Structure formats: structure tokens, C-alpha cells
């Protein structure tokens, strides 16, 4: 959806969308583009003449950060003990990034500096600017 928002409202280009298929990355060439997310995107860095970081493009377009994911709950009547335990689990994960990075880099060779990525590129708090960005994004989606 982020790509569709940027295509229509920022890049102002006409695009024909197709569903992805197994091995679609090999079909990216000429006028065929593709969205690649997650670890697979790291492995493709520098392999195509044009590459765009969608969060950077969103920031150029709106001046706001992009919220790719967040933990949310619709049921506000959850037991307090659950809320506390959940918050503690999230905090534990965030505070153990170094251990996770060390484990991953001992198992896998990554073309990305995971320390920088997880400590500088990702922000872990849902603040007012991110809430504003999320609302703006949802408004754009409603227009599609």
C-alpha cells in the first residue's frame, strides 16, 4: 500500500500492478519493477540501477517517519497483569538487540550493518509524529 500511495501521490506515475509469484525478483528488469521487503532486500542492495527505500521516499513526500509495524490492541479491557507482562517482554526484546545481532551475525553473513540498522534506522516508540504519519497514511489509503 505504501508503494501505491507513493506512486499516485508523490511520483505521479501510471503503473500496472501484478501479483507476485515465486521467483518474481528475477523478473525485475527493464520496465518491470518489484517491491522486495525484509532480509531479501538487504541481499539485493546495489544489484539494480534504481532502488528506493520506501521509508525515505515517504519522508521526502510527507516530512514524517513511516510506521511499518506496531503492536496495538483493540480490547482496552485487557487485564493489567497482561499489559505489564507484554510491556516487559517488548522491553526485554528491545534491550537484547546486541545479543540478537551477535547471534545472527555468528550464523549468517549479512551485507547490512545490523547494529546500525537496529539501533539507528529503527525507532521503537510510537510518538506523536508517528501517530500523525500513520493517520496520514490511512487517509491516503482511503483515497485509493
pTM over 0.85: no
Q: What is the pLDDT of residue 46?
A: 86
Residues 6+ apart with CB under 8 A from 126: 67, 70
Distance of CA 74 to the CA centre of its chain: 22
In a 3-state reduction of DSSP, which class is residue 3? helix
Q: What is the pLDDT of residue 4?
A: 97
Residue 110: which of 31, 45, 30 has the closest Cα? 45
Q: What is the pLDDT of residue 56?
A: 95
User: Long-range contact list for 60-67, CB < 8 A, 24+ apart?
Assistant: 60/10, 61/6, 61/9, 61/10, 62/133, 62/136, 64/129, 64/130, 64/132, 64/133, 64/136, 65/123, 65/129, 65/130, 65/133, 66/2, 66/133, 66/137, 67/126, 67/130, 67/133, 67/134, 67/137
Q: What is the mean pLDDT of residues 27-52?
A: 89
Q: What confidence tier does 75 reach under pLDDT thresholds 50, 70, 90?
A: low
Q: What confidence tier does 41 reach under pLDDT thresholds 50, 70, 90?
A: confident
DSSP string for residues in 12-41: ----------TTGGGG-BTTB-----THHH
Q: What is the mean pLDDT of residues 3-18?
A: 96
Amino acid at each position: 500500500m505504501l508503494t501505491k500511495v507513493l506512486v499516485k501521490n508523490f511520483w505521479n506515475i501510471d503503473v500496472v500492478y501484478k501479483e507476485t509469484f515465486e521467483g518474481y525478483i528475477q523478473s525485475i528488469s527493464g520496465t518491470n519493477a518489484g517491491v522486495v521487503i525484509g532480509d531479501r532486500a538487504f541481499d539485493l542492495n546495489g544489484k539494480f540501477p534504481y532502488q528506493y527505500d520506501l521509508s525515505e521516499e515517504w519522508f521526502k513526500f510527507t516530512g514524517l517517519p513511516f510506521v511499518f509495524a506496531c503492536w496495538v490492541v483493540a480490547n482496552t479491557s485487557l487485564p493489567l497483569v497482561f499489559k505489564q507482562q507484554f510491556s516487559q517482554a517488548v522491553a526485554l526484546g528491545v534491550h537484547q538487540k546486541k545479543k540478537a545481532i551477535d547471534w545472527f551475525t555468528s550464523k549468517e553473513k549479512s551485507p547490512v550493518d545490523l547494529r546500525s540498522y537496529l539501533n539507528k534506522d529503527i525507532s521503537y516508540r510510537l510518538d506523536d509524529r508517528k501517530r500523525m504519519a500513520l493517520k496520514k497514511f490511512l487517509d491516503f489509503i482511503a483515497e485509493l
